[in-house]
Structure 1
Amino acid sequence: MIKIGITGQKGFVGSHLYNTLGLNPEEFERIDFHKEYFDNAETLDHFVQQCDVIVHLAAMNRNPDPELIYHNNVDLVKKLVNSLERTGSKAHLIFSSSSQEERDNRYGASKKEGRRLLAEWANKNDGVFSGLIIPNVFGPFGLANYNSFIATFCHQLTHGESPVIDVDGEVKLIYVGELVQEIINQIKSGKTAEEYIVPFTTYIKVSEVLAKLVHYKELYFEGGEIPVLTTQFDYQLFNTFRSYFDIAAHYPVKFKQNIDPRGAFVEIIRLGIGGQCSYSTTVPGITRGNHFHTRKIERFAVIKGKALIQLRKIDSDKILNFYLDGNEPAYVDMPVWYTHNIKNIGDEELLTVFWINEPFNADDADTYFVEV
C-alpha cells in the first residue's frame, strides 16, 4: 500500500488525481491535504510524515500581479522543503512544473525555480524526485478563465456567451486523465527524473478546437444529438464540454412526441456514433444503478411510469434530483464522474430505455459502484 498526499488536492489536476487513486484502494492510500497546512509547520510536518509519495500541485497561475504569482509559488516549495528536512522524510516528491518554464513570465520562472529547489533537496538528502514539465492540460471541471482556454470556451458556449480567439496559434495539449496516468506511472516507478518532459497527446490550432466545441453546442447542447467522434481527442473534448452544463437547469429534456390515431412515436437519440441501446422494466420501489463512469456517455430515457433519477459528483455531497414521468417522456444524460441511479417512484412498472456509447466489456467496464 502506497500512502500518497497531494498538495492542491481540490484543484483541477489534484481532484482528478485524488479521485482516480480512489479507484484502487487496495494499491493506494490517500492522505488528505488542506491548503491551511502550509500556514502551520506542525500540521504540515504531520502530513509529510505520513506520506510515501507527495505530489506537489498547489500553485497560483493567474493574478494581476506577476510578482505575487512568483513569490507565492516559490514560498510554497520552500515551506515543503523545510518540512521535508525537519521530518527527515524519504518521500518520493513529484512536482508539476510547466512548459512555460522557458517563457518570459513569472509563472514559468516560479515553476523552474521550484523544480530546482526540490531537485536540490533530493540530491542533498538522497531523496527521490520527479520534476514533470507539463504541456497545456484540459478536461472536465477546469475553471474558466483560469485553468485553460478550453475551459473558458466550454463555459462560454454553455452559458450564452461568445468565445473570442486572442491568438490563433497551435497548442500542445494533454487530457487530464492522461496526465494523471503519467503521474501514477511516476509513483509506481519510484525513480528520480529531475526533468521529465510529459509528452503532449494532441497538437491543434485554437480555432480548430473552437470549431469542434461550436459543433457540439449546436448538435448536442441545443439538439440532444451525439456528434461524430472519431478520435480519442474528440471523446475527451466532448466529455469536457459536457461537464460545463448547468445540469440542474438543463435536465430533464422532454422528447418531441409525434402523435396520431395509432399512438405516439418518439425519437430517443440521434447518433453520429454507435453504441449499445437497451431497456429495463423496474417494479415500484426498486432502485437501479448507483455507479459512475470516467469516460462513457450514457442516456436514461423514461417512456412509461414515474422515476426519480439522482446524480452526485463523487467528490461532492450535493445530490441533483430529476423527476420524470412517462406521460411526458424525457431523458437525462449522465456526466462523467457523477454517480447516478434511477428509482421507480410510481405505482406501475417503470420502462426505461438506456443508450451508452460503447458495448459493455467486463474486462474494461469503466463502471464504479458508489451510492448516490
Structure 2
Amino acid sequence: MIKVGITGQAGFMGNHLFNYLGTKSNDIELISYERDFFKNEKTLEAFVSSCDVIVHIAAMNRHEDPQVIYNTNVGLVNQLIDACEKTSSSPKIIFSSSTQEDQDNLYGKSKRDGRKALEKWAIESNGEVVSFIIPNVFGPFGKPFYNSVIATFCHQVVSGEEPNIHSDGTVNLIYVNELSAAFYSEIISNKNKSTIKMIPFTSTKKVSEILNLITSFKVDYIENGVVPNVSRDSFELNLFNTFTSFIPKKHFPKKYIKHEDDRGAFVEIMRALTSGQSSYSTTVPGITRGNHYHTRKIERFAVISGKASIKWRKINTDEVFEFILDGKEPAYVDMPIWFTHNITNIGDEELITLFWINEPYDQEDSDTYFEEV
C-alpha cells in the first residue's frame, strides 16, 4: 500500500483526486489532510512523515493583490520543505504547477519558483520531485469565477444569467478525472527520477463553442428533460456531467406527463439523443437497492408503480438528499456522478422502477463503487 497525502485536499482538484484515489483502495492508503496543517508546524511534520507520496496542490489562484498570491504559494512550498527536513522525511512529491509558469504574472512566477525550490530540496535530500505542468482543468463542483470559465458559465446559465465572452479565444482543456488518472499513474510509478511532466490537454475548444454547448444543455435537459448526444470518454459527456453538478437539488423529482383515457394511461419515460441501456426492477416493501456511486455514468430512476424514497449523498460529505416518488404521479430522478444513491420501497405494495443509463453495463469496467448512503 502506498500512503498518499494531498495538500489542498478540500479544494477543487484536491477533492477530485482524493475521491478518485478512493476508488483505488487496493494499492492506495489515503492520509487525511486539513488546511490548518500549514498553521501548525508539528501537525504538518506529522503529516509529511506519514506519507510515501505527497501531491502538493494547495495554492492560491486569485487575489486582488498578486503579490499575496506569490507570497502564499512560495510560502507553502517552503513550509513543506522545512517539515520534510525537520523530520528527515523524503516522500515523493508531485507538484501541481501550471502552463502559466512561462507567463509574466506573479501566479505563474510563484509556480515556477516553487518548483525550483522543490527541485533544490530533492537534490540536497536525495528526494524525488515530479512537477506536473497542467493545462486548464474543468469538472463538476468547480467554484464559479475562480476555478475555470466553464464553472462560471455553468453557474450563470443554470441561474438564468447571461454570460459575457470577453475574448473568444481557443482554450486547451483537461477534464479533472483525466488529470486524476495522470496523478495516479505517477503515484504508482517506480521510476524514482525527478522530472518535469507536461500534462497533455485532451480537448481544444473556442470559448463560444463551450458556451453554446452549455446553453443547449439547459434547453434540452433542464427545460425538456432530454439527455444530449454524448458518448463515453467524450468532451461532451464530461462537460454535461460538469453542467449537471450546478443544477439545484430542488430540480428533482421531475414529474412526467401522464396521458389517461378509458383504456388506461401512457407515460413517456425517456427521451435521449444518445444510446444507452434500459432495465427495470421490482422491489418488495422495505427493501433498499443501490448504495453505490458512479464517476462518469448518466443514470435515471423512474418510478412508475408503488412508492419510493430515493436518497443521494456526495461521497466524503454528510448531507443526505431525499426524494419521495409515487407511481400514481410518475416521476424521475437523475443520479449525479460522485453521489452515492439508493432507492427504497416505502409503500405497502410492489415497487416498479425503470432504469436508464447511458452506457451498457461492462463487468470489467462497471464504474460502480459501493458505499452506503
Q: Normalized against structure 2, the TM-score is what?
A: 0.98
CA displacement at 1:26 relative to structure 2: 2.1
Name the aligned partner's letter for residue 221 of structure 2. Answer: Y
1:116 equivalenced with 2:109 (yes/no): no
1:256 equivalenced with 2:257 (yes/no): yes
Where 2:352 maps in the other structure, the secondary structure is: strand
CA distance in 1, matches of 2:159, 2:177: 25
In structure 2, relative to structure 1, the CA distance for the partners of 1:287 and 1:222 (3 Å cut) is same
CA distance in 2, matches of 1:295, 1:326: 28
CA distance in 2, matches of 1:354, 1:66: 50
Name the aligned partner's letter for residue 233 of structure 1. Answer: F
Give the counterpart of 1:235 among 234, 237, 243.
Answer: 237
Name the aligned partner's letter for residue 258 of structure 1. Answer: H
| Structure 1 match to 2:4 | 4
1:278 equivalenced with 2:271 (yes/no): no
Per-residue Cα deviation, 1:107-148 (whole angstroms, up to 9, x for no partner):
111111111100110011111110111000001111111100
In structure 2, relative to structure 1, the CA distance for the partners of 1:161 and 1:259 (3 Å cut) is same
Give 1:180-195 correspondences, 5 Å limit. Answer: 180-190=180-190, 191-195=192-196
Where 2:342 maps in the other structure, the secondary structure is: strand
CA displacement at 1:193 relative to structure 2: 4.0
Per-residue Cα deviation, 1:315-352 (whole angstroms, up to 9, x for no partner):
11000000001111100000000000000000111111
User: Which sections of structure 2, spanning at least 5 residues, go unmatched?
Assistant: none
Where 1:363 maps in the other structure, the secondary structure is: coil
- Superposed CA RMSD in Å reads 0.9
Per-residue Cα deviation, 1:262-292 (whole angstroms, up to 9, x for no partner):
1111111101011111111111111100000
User: Which sections of structure 1, spanning at least 5 residues, go unmatched?
Assistant: none
Where 2:313 maps in the other structure, the secondary structure is: strand
CA distance in 2, matches of 1:332, 1:50: 42
| Structure 1 match to 2:219 | 218
| Structure 2 match to 1:161 | 161
Give 1:244-323 correspondences, 5 Å limit. Answer: 244-247=246-249, 249-323=250-324
Give 1:85-100 correspondences, 5 Å limit. Answer: 85-100=85-100
CA displacement at 1:77 relative to structure 2: 0.5
| Structure 2 match to 1:103 | 103
CA distance in 1, matches of 2:186, 2:349: 53
| Structure 1 match to 2:335 | 334
CA distance in 1, matches of 2:195, 2:78: 17
CA distance in 1, matches of 2:75, 2:195: 20
Alignment size in residue pairs:
371
| Structure 1 match to 2:135 | 135
Runs of 4+ in 1 over 4 A off after TM superposition: none
CA displacement at 1:192 relative to structure 2: 2.8
CA distance in 1, matches of 2:55, 2:7: 6
**Percent identity among equivalent residues?**
56
CA distance in 2, matches of 1:212, 1:160: 15
| Structure 2 match to 1:206 | 207
Give 1:27-106 correspondences, 5 Å limit. Answer: 27-106=27-106
Where 2:183 maps in the other structure, the secondary structure is: helix
Q: Normalized against structure 1, the TM-score is what?
A: 0.98
CA distance in 1, matches of 2:118, 2:38: 16
CA displacement at 1:103 relative to structure 2: 1.1
| Structure 2 match to 1:364 | 365
Where 1:352 maps in the other structure, the secondary structure is: strand
CA distance in 2, matches of 1:213, 1:226: 13
CA distance in 2, matches of 1:10, 1:166: 30
Where 2:243 maps in the other structure, the secondary structure is: helix
CA distance in 2, matches of 1:151, 1:338: 19
Name the aligned partner's letter for residue 291 of structure 1. Answer: H
